[in-house]
């Protein structure tokens, strides 16, 4: 299964439009246009088909986590006392 297949299946399962995916990627400061995104959803034999790289899928999944759960709370720093 390719990254393109995973992205397609997530789009259908979560009922996402192209705008939604662009906004999810923007949550992790990853900019992509709708036309670039559309190239991932084309058939492999289409001349404008583009493979979805690991970086794009990783950023989409990270953005999806932020959208579903909210941003990660800041970590508390522990005070270490040296004796």
Residue 82 pLDDT greater than 70, yes or no: no
Predicted model pTM: 0.81
pLDDT of residue 70: 80
Q: Please check whether residue 51 is in contact with residue 43, taking contact to mean a CB–CB distance below 8 angstroms.
A: no
Tokens of 59: 């950023």
pLDDT of residue 22: 96
Tokens of 21: 């995916």
Helix ranges (H only) for the chain are 3-13, 18-26, 34-40, 54-69
Q: When comparing pLDDT for 74 and 17, which is higher?
A: 17
> For residue range 15-63, what is the model confidence (pLDDT) as tens digits?
999 999 999 999 999 999 999 999 999 999 999 999 999 999 999 999 9
- Of 27, 34, 20, 36, residue with least CA distance to 63: 27
Tokens of 33: 């246009």
Question: Domain spans of the chain?
Answer: 3-69
């Amino acid at each position: 299964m390719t990254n393109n297949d995973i992205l397609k299946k997530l789009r259908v399962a979560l009922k996402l439009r192209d705008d939604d995916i662009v906004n999810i990627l923007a949550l992790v400061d990853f900019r992509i246009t709708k036309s670039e995104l559309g190239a991932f959803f084309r058939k492999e034999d289409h001349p404008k088909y583009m493979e979805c790289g690991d970086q794009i899928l990783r950023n989409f999944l990270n953005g999806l986590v932020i959208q579903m759960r909210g941003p990660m709370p800041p970590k508390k720093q522990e005070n270490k006392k040296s004796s």
